[in-house]
Amino acid sequence: MNNFTFYNPVKILFGKGQISAIAKEIPQGARIMVTYGGGSIKRNGVYDQVMEALKDFYVLEFSDIEPNPHYETLMQAVDIAKRQQIDFFLAVGGGSVIDGTKFIVAAMEFEGEDPWDMMTKRTPVKKAVPFGTVLTLPATGSEMNSGSVVTRVSTKEKLAFGSPLTFPKFSVLDPEATFTLPVRQICNGVVDAFTHVLEQYLTYPVNAPLQDRMAEAVLLTLKEEGPKAVQNPQDYDTMANFMWAATMALNGVIRPGVPTDWSTHYIAHELTALHGIDHARTLAIVLPSLLRYKSEQKKEKLLQYGSRVWGVNSGTEDERLEATVEATIAFFESLGIQTKLSDYEVGEDTIDTIIERFEARGVKDLGERADIQIADVRQILTMSL
Ligand code: NZQ
Ligand code: ZN
């Protein structure tokens, strides 16, 4: 097992009715900005519960944070929040609202010229305004991690940043808040969370059986509960299990001491930036090709995953590797998520654009062995055509 430091200070308030408990988690007298998206929270009662819980605070609202949150929108929130001396934020929504709020809280205290430098120049966050979250979409794990992904419309860039200062102070996970999710978003959430686990698991063995089995537990839970959630999105227990599994997929708990390979996410973000394809769908396009392209280097873990998660136990090694990738594709497709670029009417010209952008950005050394270079990215994407 590799050396590691583990840190996760997020307090989780899980279960029905927990929104009412947030007032106790926010400093008395705080001036709060509640951030949210396009209005789903107004249609499912979450907004009313939040406002009731915050009735003794000064509250300002900032709405219309879009999916794949825009830098341009978030900077407007920063401007308003500074003028109104906001000192606590509450993000109510899915990964986009939570990520957007992480950007806002860091940008509020940013001392340089442009907070976008946190993405492009890796300027470290030195200070951030505290915030909590109320999650309405199990998928990203953003409610219990410190990462954030923001899109800059003017340059069509979708980039990430993170800091120990951008962990939420608390997150409410009430499964009832998910009852209004459209099937499309449930399917996206399952595939996103599933991929998060695979990127921390399908690398090479470092003799970490506990981390392996914890990763497999999350995968098996998503495999079982995901389709149930699609069938019955208002079943409390199903949504509770799905919600906690998605959080566990990317809250750091399965990550200590093992290598990780975030190249699928890194490459896939380009497809959202350029074509607006849902995040999870971009992962489903890139991951199978990446696994095939790197099957030799990832062989041991791929075979273990195939056996323990999909029951792939017969055939030659090559046959089992292919059957494992096929099982993963079949799972994604059973959720209505297509896995080819052509399914999204994206062609070779987009691959050229991504390669040019990676060259301009100096991208190199992706993957757990730092051996995925730009030429490899071209091959991987070409395999997804
Ligand atoms: O905007 P509203 O009206 O709220 O509607 C949203 C949005 O249209 C809707 N929705 C959310 N909860 C709902 C609901 N509709 C009905 N009922 C509910 N309970 O769902 C739509 C999508 O929401 P969004 O927040 O965009 O989805 P998701 O949670 O999948 O977040 C995706 C974003 O997170 C980033 C992605 O790149 C993408 O920008 N990621 C963040 C990560 C992190 N911070 O760790 C990791 C991930 O890999 C990912 O990159
Ligand atoms: Zn993701």
Residue among 53, 61, 57 nearest 19 (CA): 53
State the pLDDT at residue 185. 98
Q: Over the chain, what is the mean pLDDT?
A: 98
- Out of 96, 250, 270, give the residue to mutate to test ligand 1, the one with the largest number of ligand atoms within 8 Å of its CB: 96
Token pair of 76 as six digits: 């407007």
Q: Name the pLDDT band for 98 (thresholds 50, 70, 90).
A: very high
For residue 71, how far is the Cα from the chain centroid?
17
Judge if the beta carbon of residue 276 lies within 6 A of ligand 1: no
Confidence of residue 5 (pLDDT cuts 50, 70, 90): very high
Structure tokens at 86: 């906001």
The ligand placed nearest to the CA atom of residue 96 is 1
Mean pLDDT of 11-22: 98
How far does residue 53's CA lie from ligand 2's centre (Å)?
A: 30
Each residue of 66-93: pLDDT tens digit? 999 999 999 999 999 999 999 999 999 9
Q: Specify the pLDDT at position 324.
A: 98
Residue 286 is predicted with a pLDDT of 98
Q: Which of 261, 288, 266, 289 is nearest to 357 (CA)?
A: 266
pLDDT at 310: 98
Atom 21 (ligand 1) nearest CA: 67
Positive/negative CA dihedral, 183, 291, 268, 385:
negative
In the chain, the domains with their CATH numbers are: 11-177 (3.40.50.1970), 181-383 (1.20.1090.10)
CB 41 within 8 A of CB 172: no
Give residue 60's pLDDT: 98
**Atom 7 of ligand 1, nearest CA residue:** 67
pLDDT in tens, 133-150: 999 999 999 999 999 999
Query: What pLDDT, on the 0 to 100 scale, is given for residue 318?
Result: 98
Contact 377, 271 (CB under 8 A): no
185 lines ligand 1 (CB under 6 A): yes
114 phi and psi angles, rounded to 5 deg: -140, 120
Q: Which of 97, 149, 180 to mutate to test the pocket of ligand 1 (most atoms within 8 A of CB)?
A: 149
The DSSP annotation for 342-385 comes to GGGT--HHHHHHHHHHHHHHT---BTTTT-B-HHHHHHHHHHT-
89 CA to centre of ligand 2 in angstroms = 23
Neighbour-count burial for 78-110, b at 16+ CB within 10 Å, e otherwise? beebeeeebbbbbbbbbbbbbbbbbbbbbbbeb
Distances from the Cα of 209 to the Cα of 205, 256, 343, angstroms? 9, 12, 38
Kindly indicate the confidence band of residue 181, based on its pLDDT and cuts at 50, 70 and 90.
very high
Residues 298-351: tens digit of each pLDDT:
999 999 999 999 999 999 999 999 999 999 999 999 999 999 999 999 999 999
CA distances from 112 to 108, 115, 249, 298, 370 (A): 11, 7, 34, 41, 31
Give whole-number Cα distances, 238 to 45, 60, 133, 190, 328, in Å. Answer: 20, 34, 22, 12, 21
CB atoms within 5 A of ion ligand 2 belong to 192
Please choose, from the candidates 310, 320, 305, 293, the residue with its C-alpha nearest in 3D space to the C-alpha of residue 384: 293
User: What pLDDT, on the 0 to 100 scale, is given for residue 118?
Assistant: 97
- Joined tokens for residue 274: 């350029």
Mean pLDDT across 244-252? 98
The residue among 182, 134, 144 whose CA lies nearest residue 17 is: 134
| Cβ contact 128:122 at 8 Å | no
DSSP string, 163-223: -GGGS-SEEEE-GGGGTT--HHHHHHHHHHHHHHHHHTTSS---S-HHHHHHHHHHHHHHH
